[in-house]
Structures are given as C-alpha cells and as structure tokens.
C-alpha cells in the first residue's frame, strides 16, 4: 500500500502514558492507542507512525511534562508543535472529556491549522529560568514567613511602634521578644528560624544567579535593561528569563500582548468596546513590569543607583534609557492630570515600558562586543 503524504498526530501527554491519535492527509482520525513515556516506547511509536506516511507532524499541549518530548521528537527528525492549551478551539456545549477525545481533537486542529504554538526555550534558557524561578519562589516564601510571624505577634498583642519593614532596627526588636509560656516561645522561635532559613536560601540563590548570569547569552540585555529607571537586577533577570528570547517578538505590540497588558476588546459593527487588560501570558513577568512602572510617578532624574548600574554601558543605551524615563514620567503625569485612576495609569505606563524593554533589550544585544562580555560592568 502506498504511503500517504502526511500523518497528523495528536498526543495527549500524561506523567506515565501518552494517548496517540492520527490522521493520514484528509482521512478519518484513528486512535493508535496508549504509549509509554520511555525512550523505547517513543521509538516504537515513531516507527509505527513513520510506516504510515512519508511525513509525520506531532502536536501536544503545553503542560507540566515540559518540553523533553518535543526535543526528543525534533532530534529524531520529526516536526513537533507544543500548542497553547487556552487557545485550542472548543465546541460550545461539549461536556465529555477523555484522553482519546483530546488526542483526536488535537489531530483535527493540527490538520486545520487552528493551533497556536508556544515558544520552546533552549536547554540553557530553560535551565537559567529554573534558577531564576527558584530565587523568586524563595523570596515569595520569605514574604509569607514574615507575614506569618507578624500575624502571630499581632494575635498576642505584640506591636511594633515604628515601620515594620524588616530593617536592622525591626529585626533587633524581633530578636528581643520573649513569651512567658514555653509553648508560645517555641512557636515563636520556629517562626523566626523559618525566616532565617529563607533568608539564607535567598542569599545562596542570589549569589548563584549573579554568577550564572554572566555566562547566559542574554547577559548584555540584562545589563542594558538595568540602565532604565525601576529595572534593577531582580526585574531584568526575571523578565528576560521568562521571555527567553526577545528576537521572537517582531514588534513591541506582540510583547505587550504576550504579557497580557493590552486592553480587552469586544467590538461588533460600528460599536467598539474596550475593557480591562487581558491578563494573558506570563503573570510573573507582568507583575515585575507593573512594579517597575510605579517608579515613574516621580519626576525624571538619574539617581546614584541608576548611575552605578549604567557604569560601563554604551552611550546609546544610556541615552535610550533617559528618553524612556522622560516619556514615561510625562505619560504618568498626563494621565493623572486627566483624572485617571492610579492603577489604570500605572498599567498604561507598564504597557509602554514593555515597548522600551523590547527596544533596549534588542539594542543591548546588538551592541554587545567581546570586551563587553569578558569585562562585565558591576551588577547591582
């Protein structure tokens, strides 16, 4: 029997199994069955499918199983797409969901071209992102641990009269607290030890991240973004590790849409209605940009910290960062003068800030030189 030209294969991937459905050209969708997840099982599945068509195209949903299957299939010479689950077409009223139906649906959607691919990072980019996320998680755990201790003290009537910002004076005050009941004292000490453990973990991860970033291919962009106001090391590394590669965005509007800071819209005929931001895409990168946008509520100026971060950077980057600060500070004041809500104003500034991140990040990568990589400026 003559082979068909193309086999479209939908994979419903789970931790211990893969449900496979396929269709040859415009033929009916057929169920191949379940496959294991080991290399031997995947080799057997690929041989079976390769015997049915000259070309084989795979697709599966992005999920907790990561991109190892994608890399393995691409290494074997197959075309593979990892699609965005939230953008898969769904029929209204569809109430039955099984692995077989999901695999068949992916097969039909792949053949029709109705799927949206997600960006698959390189191995190095994914490894650096894992380290950056571990750091962000440790900082979030530290915040929760501090909040738990504050709640514990408040529930027992212990209040700090100054600003409880966990500065040196606040930490000294916490270290002097004692309770008459030994069980309460034990609970208090456990809360304190948790905070100290999280502080040590954050310190270790930050040191490792600062050492690792100098060998990362996006290191020039990390330095370039720090020339901007409100974008310190934490923000620059967090945003770029989640983006992976700025070159994949051909226009800054694509980056804004990926971050979910563009307005939602429902328009029909002559009517056009816009709502709040879409909040699609990466929530952590969006959070970092919004936090950075708050700094533009003040008048434009180059502080000492910004001067230190700009030390050793090419002049075009410094000039572009100053242009960004002038525009964004003016934007904030203009929207505030119009009576806009403060949160709406900050989101609007964050949207434009994303455009400058796209521009300055790409400019930094293009200006990178051998001296710039081997003699890096000081990270702050």
Domains and CATH numbers, the chain: 4-112 (3.30.420.40), 123-213 (no CATH), 219-374 (no CATH)
* Residue 360 to residue 310: CA distance in whole angstroms: 13
CB neighbour class for 95 (10 Å; exposed up to 12, middle 13-18, buried from 19): exposed
Percent of residues, the chain, with pLDDT higher than 70: 96
For 272-328, the pLDDT digits (tens) are 888 889 998 889 999 999 999 999 999 999 999 999 999 999 999 999 999 999 999
This prediction has a pTM of 0.87
List the chain pLDDT tens, one digit each, 380 residues: 456 689 999 999 999 999 999 999 999 999 999 999 999 999 999 999 999 899 999 999 999 999 999 999 999 999 999 999 999 999 888 889 999 999 999 999 999 999 999 999 999 999 999 999 999 999 999 999 999 999 999 999 999 988 888 889 999 999 999 999 999 999 999 999 999 999 999 999 999 999 999 999 999 999 999 999 999 999 999 999 999 889 899 999 999 999 999 998 888 888 888 888 999 888 999 999 999 999 999 999 999 999 999 999 999 999 999 999 999 999 999 999 999 999 999 999 999 999 999 999 999 999 885 454 445 555 54
First to last CA, the chain: 66
Q: Which two tokens stand for residue 43?
A: 């080799």
The closest alpha carbon to 359, from 216, 249, 275, belongs to 249
**Backbone phi, then psi, for 79, in 5-degree steps?**
-90, 130
């Amino acid at each position: 029997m003559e082979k068909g030209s193309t086999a479209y294969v939908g994979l419903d991937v789970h931790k211990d199994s893969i449900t496979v459905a396929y269709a040859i050209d415009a033929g009916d969708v057929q169920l191949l069955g379940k496959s294991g997840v080991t290399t031997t099982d995947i080799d057997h599945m690929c041989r079976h499918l390769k015997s049915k068509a000259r070309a084989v195209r795979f697709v599966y949903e992005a999920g907790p199983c990561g991109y190892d299957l994608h890399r393995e299939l691409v290494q074997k010479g197959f075309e593979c797409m990892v699609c965005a689950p939230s953008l898969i077409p769904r029929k209204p009223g569809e109430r039955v969901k099984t692995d077989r139906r999901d695999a068949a649906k992916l097969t039909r959607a792949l053949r029709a071209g109705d799927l949206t691919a997600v960006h698959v990072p390189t191995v190095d980019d994914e490894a650096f992102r894992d380290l950056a996320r571990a750091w962000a998680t440790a900082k979030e755990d530290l915040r929760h641990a501090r909040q738990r201790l504050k709640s514990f003290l408040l529930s027992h009537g212990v209040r700090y009269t100054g600003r409880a910002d966990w500065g040196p004076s606040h930490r000294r005050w916490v270290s002097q607290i004692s309770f008459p009941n030994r069980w309460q004292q034990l609970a208090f000490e456990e809360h304190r030890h948790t905070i100290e453990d999280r502080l040590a973990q954050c310190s270790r991860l930050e040191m490792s991240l600062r050492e690792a970033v100098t060998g990362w291919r996006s290191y020039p962009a990390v330095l370039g973004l720090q020339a901007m106001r409100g974008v310190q090391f934490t923000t620059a590394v967090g945003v770029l590790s989640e983006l992976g590669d700025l070159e994949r965005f051909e226009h800054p509007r694509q980056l804004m849409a990926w971050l979910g800071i563009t307005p939602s819209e429902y328009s029909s005929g002559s009517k056009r209605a816009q709502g709040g931001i879409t909040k699609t895409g990466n929530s952590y990168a969006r959070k970092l940009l919004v936090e950075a946008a708050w700094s533009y509520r003040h008048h434009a100026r180059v502080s000492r910290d910004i001067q230190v971060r700009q030390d050793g950077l090419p002049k075009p980057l410094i000039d572009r960062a100053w242009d960004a600060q002038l525009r964004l500070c003016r934007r904030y004041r203009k929207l505030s003068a119009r009576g806009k809500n403060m949160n709406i104003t900050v989101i609007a500034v964050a949207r434009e800030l994303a455009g400058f991140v796209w521009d300055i990040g790409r400019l930094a990568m293009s200006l990178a030189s051998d001296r710039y990589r081997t003699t890096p400026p000081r990270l702050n």
